[in-house]
Amino acid sequence: MKRRPKLTIDILTLLKRGTGLTQAQISQQLKAKPHSVRAVLWKLVRQGKISATKSAKAATITGPKVVNVYCSVEGFA
């Protein structure tokens, strides 16, 4: 994986195109590090640029059973 100086912009454009994505789906589509994506998503939610809801069922056996789904705030308007 390479360093992505504009990861925030990439995430915002991806969420404006799609309906709702989990952190793992965003990381996979952008080919970015999952930890970096998580940090940027947390920052964007705190700033109010995107929203997070707990609704997607996790596909793995271990770990959390419900994961956050992120979507653009403009998508709700």
pLDDT at site 76: 46
Spans of the chain below 50 pLDDT:
76-77
Q: How many domains does the chain have?
A: 1
What end-to-end distance do the CA atoms of the chain give, in Å? 35
Angle at Cα 49 formed by Cα 73 and Cα 20, nearest 5°? Answer: 45
Tell me whether residue 34 is in a domain. yes
Q: Estimate to the nearest angstrom the gap between the alpha carbon of 65 and the chain centroid.
A: 17
Which CATH number fits the domain that encloses residue 24?
1.10.10.10
- Looking at residue 1, what is its pLDDT? 55
Can you give the residue range of the structural domain that contains 33?
7-75
The radius of gyration computed from the CA coordinates of the chain, to the nearest angstrom, equals 12
